[in-house]
Amino acid sequence: MIKRILKEPITHFLVLGSLLFAAWNYLAPSQESENNEYVIVVDQAKFDHLKTLWKAQWKHEPSNEDIAAILERHIRKEVFYREALTMGLDQSDEIIRTRLAQKMEAVASDLSNLMQLPSEQQLKEFHQARPELFTIAQSFAFEQVILTPQEAQEPKLSEIRAQLIANPNTLNSFENRRSVPNSWPLMPENTLKNAFGGTFVEQLAKQPTEQWVGPIESGFGLHLVKIANNTPEHLAPFSDIKDYVLEQYKYYAVIDSQQKMFETLLKKYRVRLEADTIPTEIEQEFAAL
């Protein structure tokens, strides 16, 4: 009887199935009690992949601040991706039609609220609360002459300065040296730093206006410079940029709304950083998530 049972195919199938089940229980990692659907794991392979993509774009190693941003973007994308799957937005059936219709109704409602024009008082408060968006950097308008090494020495230097003071048209005789314009309209300091270098702009800030001064050094060499206008950094008046303030208000209203939605959804998830090369301070920052 026993021999006949052992020869039955169903017996072989049950034995093989038992062996496979036992092997899986032995080799597979133990299941966590938590719902893995709401656990976002960033292991070493994933972290290395994210860094590689970042370095391919920016051509240098990310700083700790960059790493934090990389992780936040990945987690943000993962949360929205999983929520989309939960909603059935990946399915080409009646579910996706219903969900997308509901989603568009919600989006239309949100956009309707967002696009309601703020009052002038709200715009003024936004203008004051976000000065970094509306501050005009220190700016300079000036004329300059690039000097040859011989012209930068006395007495030739004083001779050129005297000629420029006596006859402003003398400036034309120095035109197109190194293809650098002699006259520069009011320009913010960042633009001038890109053109001449930071040292040149720092020296400009120390000079009086309406006087030929120098030589001042830049990446092009030595210059005689006459500053026509030195405008300190200042908050642009609201009345001058009201339309721009409105544009920024709308933009940041959308950004803030998205961030609030992300923070609400993120509460459903737990983030686990398992990569060994993530800096400790970044791990601590994300530990609270």
User: In 3D, which of 76, 78, 100 has the Cα closest to residue 88?
Assistant: 100
- Is a pLDDT exceeding 60 seen at residue 88? yes
pLDDT of the residue at 29: 47
Per-residue pLDDT, averaged over 223-235, amounts to 90
Q: How many CA atoms lie within 13 A of 167 on its CB side?
A: 7
Quickly state the pLDDT bin for 1 (edges 50, 70, 90). very low
Quickly state the pLDDT bin for 26 (edges 50, 70, 90). very low
Residue 108 to residues 99, 101, 128, 261: CA-CA distances in angstroms? 14, 10, 30, 15
- Is a pLDDT exceeding 60 seen at residue 8? no
Whole-angstrom distance, CA of residue 232 vs CA of residue 251: 28
- Is a pLDDT exceeding 50 seen at residue 195? yes
Cα angle, residue 138 at apex, residues 132 and 140 outer, rounded to 5° = 150
Quickly state the pLDDT bin for 245 (edges 50, 70, 90). very high
What does residue 67 show for φ and ψ, rounded to 5 degrees?
Answer: -60, -45
Higher-pLDDT residue of 211 and 15 is 211
pLDDT of the residue at 108: 57
- Is a pLDDT exceeding 80 seen at residue 27? no
Alpha-carbon dihedral sign for residues 279, 281, 282, 284: positive
70 near 50, Cβ under 8 Å?
A: yes
Hey, where are the domains in the chain? 2-105, 141-232
What CATH architecture applies to the domain 141-232? Roll (3.10)
Q: Cβ of 21: how many Cβ atoms within 10 Å?
A: 10
Quickly state the pLDDT bin for 12 (edges 50, 70, 90). very low
- The residue count for the chain: 289
Quickly state the pLDDT bin for 25 (edges 50, 70, 90). very low
Q: Which residues make Cβ contacts (< 8 Å) with residue 174, sequence separation at least 6?
A: 145, 146, 182
